[in-house]
Amino acid sequence: MKAVVAPEELEEYFDRLWPILRSITGEGVRRSHDILSEIIPLERIEIPSGTECFDWVVPKEWVVREAYLIDPGGKRILDIAENNLHLVNYSVPFRGVISRRDLDAHLYSRPDLPEAIPYVTSYYEPRWGFCLSHIQRDALPEGDYQVVIDTDLIEGSLTIGEAVLPGETESEVLISTYTCHPSMANNELSGPLVSAFLYRELKSLEKRRFTYRFLFLPETIGSVAYLQLRGGELKKKLLAGYVVTCVGDSGPFNYKKTRHGNHLADRAALHALEVDGRVDAYKVHDFFPDGGSDERQYCSPGFNLPVGSLMRTMYRDYAEYHTSMDDKNFINFNAMSDTIEVYAKIMETLEQSEIWDRVDPRCEPQLSKHGLYPSLGTIDREQVSAMMWVLNYSDGTREIAEIARLSGLSIDQISNAAQQCAKAGLIVPLGHLDREGES
């Protein structure tokens, strides 16, 4: 599997998705999913406002028509038509005239980053407000301002997009990303783009051992709602999962481990990073619950799903995070294409990470009898080695990647050897063995 996604194609979709005002609910999300559905056939799950999900309640759906201020000089400013970060996300409707002084309590800026418009949300507390650069805020004259926030909070629903790519088994790999962020680039248009194109790559495979589940949902409330709906099923089937976020730039990779710490999900990700020629250096982080994204829900102690997260430059590791400065300049479509390939490499590693069982585990089989021993004089030592490793360690406990690690051979070599041994009837996938009375 060799992912090849043209940077131009990524850019084209980026440009179309960029201007849309997204939030955790609403039409912006649905329009974004519609565009992404050209790449990945997202089925919609609509969860009604007011639905209880564990400790949470799905909020009303946010409808935005327009929002701006008229300054004392009569000029329209902070218009969301210009930059959708100007409005505090989930602002309640408001129309009225307000003094510069009273307005100030509704303004959000970043003195430490005076040119950036910050990204502010207030999903669960009714508020309204405007975000602007600190420079602009300082320059706002005294006088009365006319506020126009033409929004609504209606009984609607929260939208989750889901696509399932079936494989030979029901064991699942989860790819989860989020589509609730308005116009920002690394965090977060990169995640949906990488995820959608990863789907296309996986779909192009002739066969898949595992089933791949892709989720495009609003951060936190979306994964909470999904877990309420299907957490039990996921717990049963999930082999490995990844939250795809902050994957847009060309910075070094960061891998945040699952809460298990040394799960197949982690081993596969680290293996892909190690063997992939595109990766120079990367950092590994133990699971942490304070900060991050939906892995916090997947890895909550009641589920403890094996979900990690492979990123480039992490949330909070860059100053532009959650501001208007996380824009197209911050990201790099060539690097994004590489990231897709690394994710594809993880999936390839997982695909090859079968655990096998010797049909008769006693002694070595006689390779030549099974046509497995190269004839005298043309011995490929590594090929024989790989078979020996497979035959000894296919004991129902070690996956291909682990045998590769033990042997010092590559996953490809071990995987090929396993295929040969399986064809010869010497090993079968774990659980396919019908031994009499063996434990």
Contact range with its own copies by CB under 8 A, out of 77-85, 179-187, 211-219, 392-400: 392-400
Three-state secondary-structure class, residue 162? strand
Identify which of 349, 148, 382 has the alpha carbon closest to the alpha carbon of residue 265: 349
Span 214-233, contacts to its own copies by CB under 8 A: 220, 223-224, 227-228, 231
Contact range with its own copies by CB under 8 A, out of 150-158, 196-204, 263-271, 359-367: 359-367
According to the binding rule CB under 8 A, does residue 395 interact with its own copies? yes
Residue count, binding to its own copies (CB under 8 A): 51
Give me the least distance between CB of 207 and its own copies, in Å please.
Answer: 28
Nearer to its own copies, 8 or 290 (CB): 290
According to the binding rule CB under 8 A, does residue 305 interact with its own copies? no
The contacts of residue 126 (CB under 8 Å, 6+ apart) are: 92
Residue whose token pair is 């320059």: 139
What's the first-to-final CA gap in the chain, in angstroms? 37
Instruction: Provide the β-strand partners of residue 108.
Output: 131
According to the binding rule CB under 8 A, does residue 416 interact with its own copies? no
For residue 328, the surrounding DSSP H or E stretch is none
Cα dihedral: 150, 221, 84, 199 (round 10): -130
According to the binding rule CB under 8 A, does residue 53 interact with its own copies? yes
Instruction: Provide the β-strand partners of residue 217.
Output: 178
Q: Which of 96, 289, 423, 432 binds its own copies (CB under 8 A)?
A: 289
According to the binding rule CB under 8 A, does residue 41 interact with its own copies? no
In this structure, which long-range contacts are made by residues 363-367, counting pairs with CB atoms below 8 Å and at least 24 apart in sequence? Answer: 364/388, 364/391, 364/392, 365/391, 365/424, 365/426
Contact range with its own copies by CB under 8 A, out of 14-22, 285-293, 327-335, 347-355: 285-293
Span 92-121, contacts to its own copies by CB under 8 A: 120
The contacts of residue 185 (CB under 8 Å, 6+ apart) are: 14, 18, 248, 326, 327, 328, 330, 331
Residues of the shown chain interacting with its own copies in the complex, contacts defined by CB under 8 A: 53-56, 120, 122, 124-125, 127, 220, 223-224, 227-228, 231, 259, 286, 288-291, 296-297, 299-303, 358, 360-366, 368-369, 376, 384-386, 388-389, 391-395, 406-407
